[in-house]
Amino acid sequence: MSTTYATDSPRQATRLDAIQGRFDPWLLGATIALACLGVVMVASSSIAIAENDGVGPFYYLTRHIVFLGAGGVLAIWLMRTELKTVEQKNQWLLLLCFVLLLLVFVPGIGKSVNGAQRWINLGVSNFQAVEAVKLMYVVWLASYLVRFRDEVNATWIAMLKPIGVAVLLVALLIMQPDFGSLSLLLAITAGMLVLGGVHMPRMFGPVLVGLPILAAIAIAEPYRVRRFTSFLDPWADQLGSGYQLTNALMAVGRGEWFGVGLGASVQKLNFLPEAHTDFILAVIGEELGFVGVCLVIGLYALLVGRAFWIGLRCVEMRRHFAGYCAFGIALWISLQSFVSIGVNLGLLPTKGLTLPLISSGGSSVLMTCAALGLLLRVSYELDRAERQVARLRGEAVQPSTGTPATAQPAPADIAPARGTSRLRQRTEPTLGLRKGA
């Protein structure tokens, strides 16, 4: 008796094309919650600062909402863009990283603020180039790890190439200077290499060489040394180098368990510098208390944990580019939020890194929204791929004549044969679609 299989290619392709994915609800919910909390806290923390600057009480709030809206548009565009299209642009994105970091030094285009040459003058606003570089570099490195995954694990040259690119970017950041961003970029590079399967003993060499160099860079500037010493004992110079940290600690301590109430912070009344940007968590601690701080940490933990889980699922399905993008964005958000929270709570030396999605700051808000839009696209394509695999397997185990499922040959891209080399597995599954769909 002949067996009939559901292998009508045109019909099968049409069915698979018709399958749509879903954006991860936990990821989307955590993103919206952080963005809404950010709007509320920027409104609360910036009124006194705006009035003191003579720009109107709602200047910083309006600016934050405008950039959040622009970031939302950018995020939606990325959520509707196929990852294969993003991957194809990886070399251009790397080139753009260097162009942006060089533009800050061009007279008439670059702008210096408080002695730091980090901004590009767009006329209506300033744009901090490194914020865009973070996302574009993550995309390039994810593509590199897909193309050279086996070599990165097997050879020194393939492992050192992305480290060399990171060092070149770091050199430009040192000239700005921006020690916080360069440290973050190096940490993202190391984390993605480890998650990409690098041979771990080889990583010790660059790490052992890099750490003393970073320490030397950190102590080369007297103001960085003062930040470190004041972090160890901020009360020794309460009105000098320890001024920011002592006021942040007083704000957090005053909040106790449930806070003094939304809008009732005293430290934001021109006592705590950068209350709406770098030290916004201290205002949250004062107004919403220990519970509010735990809520913020919990939302970041949910977002980052979900991002890592999505990345792991992508790698398990051999959608490596999507998985590495998720890992890179998760590392970026987790490390930056960890540093910002640690600074506000006196656990780390003072560093100018914003709290993602919450702090006021046009460039940071804009590019964080873009990164989360790309992450949501990863979750969408993962869900779509899982539904396509379920459809293919359902067709394989339900032949029209009732033949047992064991008689069905599994699709090659769903169940690769044992013994398949890692080199052959570098191609992502097509699931009946074009590559990367």
The structure tokens listed for 309 are 């889980």
Report the 10 Å Cβ neighbour count for 345: 16
Sheet holding 116-121, edge to edge: 110-113, 116-121, 126-128
Our CA dihedral for 37, 73, 129, 350, rounded to 10 degrees, sits at: 10
**pLDDT band with cut points at 50, 70 and 90 for residue 395:** low
Q: What is the value of pTM for the model shown?
A: 0.85
85-100 residue pLDDT tens: 999 999 999 999 999 9
**Beta bridge partners of residue 120, listed in sequence order:** 110, 127
Please, which pLDDT band fits residue 122 given cuts at 50, 70 and 90?
A: confident
**CB distance 314 to 323 below 8 Å:** yes
Confidence of residue 403 (pLDDT cuts 50, 70, 90): very low
CA 319 to chain centre: 19
pLDDT tens digits for range 8-52? 444 555 466 678 889 999 999 999 999 999 999 999 999 888 888
**Band of residue 291 on the pLDDT scale cut at 50, 70, 90:** very high
Closest CA to 259 of 281, 298, 291: 291
**Positive or negative, the Cα torsion across 200, 375, 308, 321?**
negative
What's residue 264's pLDDT? 87
pLDDT in tens, 305-359: 999 999 999 999 999 999 999 999 999 999 999 999 999 998 888 877 889 999 9
pLDDT of residue 432: 39
The rounded distance, in Å, linking the Cα atoms of 29 and 303 is 9
| C-beta separation of 163 from 209 below 8 A | no
What value, to the nearest 5°, has the Cα angle with vertex 243 and ends 332 and 120? 45
pLDDT confidence of residue 139: 96
Q: How many C-beta atoms lie closer than 10 Å to residue 269's C-beta? A: 13
Average pLDDT, the chain: 83
- Tens of pLDDT, residue by residue over 130-174, are 999 999 999 999 999 999 888 888 888 888 899 999 999 999 998
**For residue 236, what is the DSSP state?**
G
Q: What is the Cα–Cα distance from 215 to 186, expressed in whole angstroms?
A: 13
Residue 126, strand partner residues = 121
Q: How far apart are CA 96 and CA 135, in angstroms?
A: 11
Q: What angle do CA 181, 143, 310 make, to 5 degrees?
A: 80
